[in-house]
Chain A
Amino acid sequence: SAVISQKPSRDICQRGTSLTIQCQVDSQVTMMFWYRQQPGQSLTLIATANQGSEATYESGFVIDKFPISRPNLTFSTLTVSNMSPEDSSIYLCSVEKTGNYGYTFGSGTRLTVV
């Protein structure tokens, strides 16, 4: 399976600011997925990032709030923009490397907005 490095691991941010989360994969992957996990909750998909095209956002998530970049096949960023306390959550990236359905997660970014 792929090895994913995600950073930062945690951050405390002021409301109204933005935070960019990075995910680096140890090999080329076709799709990268960004999830949000609110405290005590399940994982909700924010968007799917394919290299060379615009990310595809799920219902309830918009590009202005969660812009995503995917400059190459091993790297992606998610920005949480104009943050409010409701954005406090864990954000995780995920990849499916092989086409054999083995999804791997990054270690997550624990974001607290104050």
Chain B
Amino acid sequence: GENVEQHPSTLSVQEGDSAVIKCTYSDSASNYFPWYKQELGKRPQLIIDIRSNVGEKKDQRIAVTLNKTAKHFSLHITETQPEDSAVYFCAASTGGYQKVTFGTGTKLQVIP
């Protein structure tokens, strides 16, 4: 089955700096890679996703890149703000109603 590894497990950045979270996956059949943000005590919320036919996707301060050959994908957050502090999970799926396998999570702390 799919295995998703995520690094780092914790990340502290100064407000305004950039944050990068990296993930690798094992199943070459995976073609959908969502990223979730989970604030304390709340449900995971989808913040951005990318499919295998795209190398990069951007949404305001958030961007995701995908390297299918190397089987890794990354989340980039620019101009970080205190409200970006949360746990971020990467995930992989073969899509189309199939299960999602999650990475181990990254706790991001943005220091004002």
Is B102 within 8 A of A101, CB to CB? Answer: no
B51 sits at the interface (CB 8 A): yes
A99: chain B residues at CB < 8 Å are 96-97
A69 sits at the interface (CB 8 A): no
A30 sits at the interface (CB 8 A): yes
Of the four ranges (under 10, 10 to 19, 20 to 34, 35 or more), the interface on chain B belongs to 20 to 34
Tally A residues with Cβ within 8 Å of B.
23
Is A45 within 8 A of B95, CB to CB? Answer: no
Is B93 within 8 A of A42, CB to CB? Answer: no
Contact mask A52-63 → B, CB, 8 Å, 1/0? 000000010000
Given contacts A30-B97, A42-B103, A42-B105, A101 and B51 within 8 Å (CB-CB): yes
Q: Give 4 nearest A-B pairs by CB, closest first.
A: A105-B43, A31-B97, A43-B102, A101-B32
| Chain B residues engaging chain A, CB cutoff 8 angstroms | 1, 32, 34, 42-46, 49, 51, 89, 93, 95-105
